[in-house]
Structure 1
Amino acid sequence: MAEIEDVVGRYVSFTSRGVEQRVYFEEAGEGPVLLCLHTAGADARQFRHLLADRELTARFRVIAFDLPWHGKSLPPAGWWKQEYLLTTDEYVGLVEDFSASLSLDRPIVLGCSMAGSLVIELARRDPQRWRGVIGLSGALKVEGRFNDWPLDPSINAQVSVASWTHSLMSPHSPEASRREVWWIYSQGGPGIYRGDTYFYSQDFDLRDSARTIDTGSIPVYLLTGEYDHACTPADTAAALDAIPGAKGGTMTGIGHFPMAENYPLFREHLVPILDEMESAR
Structure 2
Amino acid sequence: MPKTDPIVGQYIYLTIDDIEYRVYYEEAGQGIPLLVGHTAGSDGRQYRHLLCDPEVTKHFRVIAFDLPYHGKSLPPHGVEWWTQEYNMTKSFMLDFPNTLARELELDRPVYLGSSMGGHLAVDLASKHPDNYRATIAVEGALRSAAEYVDVGMAGIRKEFDNPNVSRNSIGAAMMLNISPYTPEANAREIQWEYMCGGPGIFAGDLYYYYYDHNVSAEEARVIDTSKCMLYLLTGEYDPNTSPAETQQLADLVEGAKFWAMDKLGHFPVTEDYPKFREYLLPILQEIREKSQATAEPGLQTAASTH
Answer yes or no: same fold by TM over 0.5: yes
Secondary structure of 2:177's counterpart equals coil
Q: Mean Cα displacement is larger for which, 225-234 or 161-170? A: 161-170
Query: What do you get for the CA RMSD once the two structures are aligned?
Result: 1.1
Please, what TM-score do these two structures have when normalized by structure 2? Answer: 0.89
Give the TM-score normalised by structure 1. 0.97
Distance across 1 between alignment mates of 2:255 and 2:170 = 36
TM-superposed CA distance for 1:63, in Å, is 0.5
Distance 1:134 1:186 in 2: 27
Residue 17 of structure 1 deviates from its aligned partner by 1.8
Q: After TM superposition, list the pairs within 5 Å mapping 1:118-267 onto structure 2.
A: 118-143=120-145, 144-145=147-148, 147-148=156-157, 149-156=159-166, 158-208=167-217, 209-267=219-277
SS of 2:135's equivalent in the other structure is strand
Distance in 1, matches of 2:197 and 2:10, equals 20
3-state SS, counterpart of residue 63 of structure 1: strand
Unmatched 5+ stretches in structure 2: 292-306
Aligned to 1:114: 116
Give 1:28's aligned amino acid.
Answer: A
What is residue 295 of structure 2 aligned with on the other side? none
| Equivalence for 1:40 | 40
Q: Which residue in the other structure is 1:76 paired with?
A: 76
Aligned pairs, how many? 280
Greater Rg over alpha carbons, structure: 2
Counterparts of 1:21 and 1:120, CA distance in 2: 25
Q: Which amino acid aligns with 1:166?
A: M
After TM superposition, what 4+ stretches of structure 1 lie above 2 angstroms from structure 2?
143-146
* Cα shift readout 1:174-218 (whole Å, capped 9, x = no counterpart): 111111011001110011001001101011100241111001111
Provide the C-alpha distance between the structure 2 equivalents of 1:19 and 1:210, rounded to a whole number of angstroms: 31
Q: Which has the higher helix share?
A: 2
| Secondary structure class of the residue paired with 1:237 | helix
The match for 1:25 is 25
Residue 236 of structure 1 contacts residue 249 of structure 1 at CA under 8 Å; is this kept in 2?
no
In 2, are the aligned partners of 1:220 and 1:247 still within 8 Å (CA)?
Answer: yes
Q: Deviations over 1:149-194 (max 9, x none)?
A: 11221222x1121111221111111111111011001110011001
- Match of residue 58 from structure 1: 58
Compute the displacement of 1:2 (Å).
2.4
Rounded Cα–Cα distance in structure 1 between residues aligned with 2:19 and 2:98:
14
**SS at the partner of 2:31?**
coil
For residue 73 of structure 1, give the secondary structure of its aligned residue in structure 2. coil
Residue aligning to 2:67:
67
Structure 1 unaligned residues grouped into runs of 5+: none
Distance 1:127 1:64 in 2: 21
SS in 2 for 1:248: strand
Distance 2:142 2:177 in 1: 19
